[in-house]
Amino acid sequence: MDWRVRVAKLAIIGRIPFGDHARRAKRRVFGYSPDKENLLGTLRDLDQMQAVLSELGRSFSGATVLEIGSGWFPTIPITLAVRGAKRVLMSDLVPHMDEVTFKATLQFLVENTHAQPRLVAASRIEDFPLTYLAPFRIADVADQSIDLIISRTVLEHIPNTALINLLRALRPKLSPQGLMLHLVDHSDHLEHADKSLSKVNFLTWSDRKHALVNWLTKEGENRLRHHQYQRVFDEAGYDIAQSSTQLHEPTRATVKTLNLAAPFRGMTPDEISILSSLFVLAPRTTP
């Protein structure tokens, strides 16, 4: 699908009156099948998070976890519950998940993982230690009640200032030894649907065009590169306990041929071509 067509469709859908209610009704009648490859990728990303936690001597097992931006298919929350998390709080700015997408996620996990009896027998959110907070209000979470705060491909959708404010507001919610894990996708998400685009095509846009596309789609990206998150986390009061990156070599090889917008044209090919980051954050305890 051409990216312009996709932007137009997202703009129309996002502005249909009662659009969310219409989509829910449609799902109840026709169902809503998840993208299998996307959910398999979600499980791989969760395994990566779990491996990093193990390196730090920590685990999801027995932990109270808050996921920022759970979306339509709660793959990570259900999997964490099955793997022994004490409690998982799912959050979204507006409700996305419903009984249709929850059951579709259960079915996916049964068919594509080593399903435990508990998973096979489940059919409702009440069958797991899960709480869905949508719309999410930080004030509804008790201070020092969360051991781990996680997100997958969410931070890149939050504007810079709003992201700093969110991270600051979440700090008191972490337990004394609490950590955050955030997996960030730095690629142009429109490329996911239009493979004729560069994976960093949006870095060629002016700020004005970028703001317009974000306004039209209602799910735009902040365009922050991996190294720029250091300042965001620093301003929010966190230290990076650990981080890892994935550099996309084809992008690195072609980045010099792109007409990058300022300030991206002043960045190195490596800085532009890191398309995935996993950050582990610890609240700063000293000034």
- For 247-258, the pLDDT digits (tens) are 999 999 999 999
The answer on pLDDT for 26 being more than 80 is no
Give the CATH number for residue 20. Answer: 3.40.50.150
Q: How confident is the model at residue 12 (pLDDT cuts 50, 70, 90)?
A: very low
**Edge-to-edge strand ranges of the sheet holding 238-247:** 130-133, 87-91, 64-68, 146-152, 174-185, 274-283, 238-247
Q: How many domains does the chain have?
A: 1
Q: How far is residue 194's CA from residue 103's CA, in Å, rounded to a whole number? A: 30
> Beta strand 174-185 with 274-283: parallel, antiparallel or unpaired?
antiparallel
Of residues 30 and 147, the one with the higher pLDDT is: 147
Q: Which of 150, 151, 277, 159 is CA-nearest to residue 221?
A: 159
Q: List the domain range (segments joined by +) for residue 101.
A: 3-283
More confident residue, 257 or 219: 257
Question: What is the predicted pLDDT for the residue at 23?
Answer: 54
The C-alpha atoms of residue 267 and residue 16 are separated, in whole angstroms, by 40
The residue written with tokens 């989509």 in the block is 23
- Report whether pLDDT(85) > 80: yes
- Per-residue pLDDT for 24 more than 80? no
- Whether the predicted pLDDT of 190 surpasses 60: yes
